[in-house]
Amino acid sequence: MKCSFCGQEIAKGTGLLFARRDGSLLYLCSGKCRANFNMGRKSTKLKWTTRKEEGKESKKESKKEVKK
């Protein structure tokens, strides 16, 4: 299972499960991820997360779709 915020692998029996009102589930690995998520920060804009590469790819793909 991976952290929904930073993308790091979570060991079994650890972490925090956060359920949103719409029924979606978020898995958070640490207090650092929980605090940043609660402050409304975007994981793609932070240097220490592995999600920044994923954000760049999705932006590039969306630009290609618009051009077509």
Please give the average pLDDT of every successive group of 10 residues along the chain, which has 68 residues. 90 93 94 92 84 59 61
Closest to 16 measured CA to CA, from 50, 7, 25, 48: 25
pTM over 0.75: no
Question: What are the structural domains, with CATH classification, of the chain?
Answer: 16-67 (2.30.170.20)
Q: Give the model's pLDDT for residue 27.
A: 94
CB-CB contact of 34 with 25 (8 Å): no
Q: Give the model's pLDDT for residue 46.
A: 85
